[in-house]
Structure 1
């Protein structure tokens, strides 16, 4: 054995160091693994939804969600996406002059016909100036996170089955 001239504690140290290097190499490869076609397709669904919100228009977004989808927002159960869009999101978007995302990051893990996504972002909402408002209202800025479960349907298209979003006022830097 090549290490036979070293006392046993050094052999253990070398073995541990070698194991650590192997794990570090595996972790580096995992971080640079190419995006699969399914991961890209899931991210495309998330992007389409994000773009619709930024355009302040939910028209046609129902196809991004399953018919029996569930939407949860900041501790509230909003029902299916169709219900949420019609009774919450669309009316709310009419009150905005702009909705922008920044600092957006997403992680997707695909497991067969299901995908699990986590998105983090900052969003800024500019409210429409009302007829009685003397000046524009201050923008609303929040740090948000969304977790979603998507399912690949029989046609091979990814759809959001469940999504939960929450947000808070950004912490000020000290």
Structure 2
């Protein structure tokens, strides 16, 4: 019995569970804000070195590929990009977290009289690396919102 107790005394302490929901939400909010500003300077720091982006059924590659070949050029043509009805849920297991964002976004283009309005959802997988949360995978999709019906 004494040997058993001695072994327990030398055991490593159980890791303390931390709730980093606020820090994880801050990473996602920083990305959303950059899109709204239409300025992605510094956003690459929100992503892990190894990452992937999927948008509406297309594997875009890494975030760097996505900026170079897709979202970067698109943002140059957009007058306004806004998110509304934004909600996010976060789950965390140690140094890995996943989040689901739901939102409605509006894009205004200079040569289009009507804004583009979409209902969107995104799932992100984040990893804590050197104390900071980084996006490892981002998958977003959108569709035209269902028309609202009015009753007389």
Superposition CA RMSD, Å? 1.0
The runs of 5 or more residues in structure 2 that have no matched partner are 1-17
Q: Is 1:162 the counterpart of 2:137 in the alignment? A: yes
Once superposed, which parts of structure 1, at least 4 consecutive aligned residues long, lie more than 2 Å away? Answer: none
Q: Deviations over 1:14-52 (max 9, x none)?
A: xxxxxxxxxxxxxxxxxxxxxx65110000000000000
Aligned partner of residue 23 in structure 2, secondary structure? helix
Unaligned runs of 5+ in 1: 1-35, 130-135
Alignment TM-score, normalising by the size of structure 2 = 0.84
2:38 is the counterpart of 1:62:
no
Q: Between Structure 1 and Structure 2, which shows a larger proportion of helix residues?
A: 1
Greater radius of gyration (CA): 1
Q: Is the CA contact 2:19–2:92 (under 8 Å) kept in the aligned structure 1? A: no
Choose from 133, 140, 146 the match for 1:171.
146
Match of 1:141 in 2: 117
Among candidates 152, 155, 158, match of residue 128 of structure 2: 152
SS at match of 1:95: coil
Residue 75, structure 1, aligned to residue 50, structure 2: no
CA distance in 2, matches of 1:78, 1:91: 14
Q: CA deviation at 1:144?
A: 0.0
Structure (1/2) with the larger strand percentage: 2
Instruction: Find the aligned partners of 2:75 and 2:61 in 1 and give their Cα distance.
Output: 18
Alignment length (residue pairs): 132
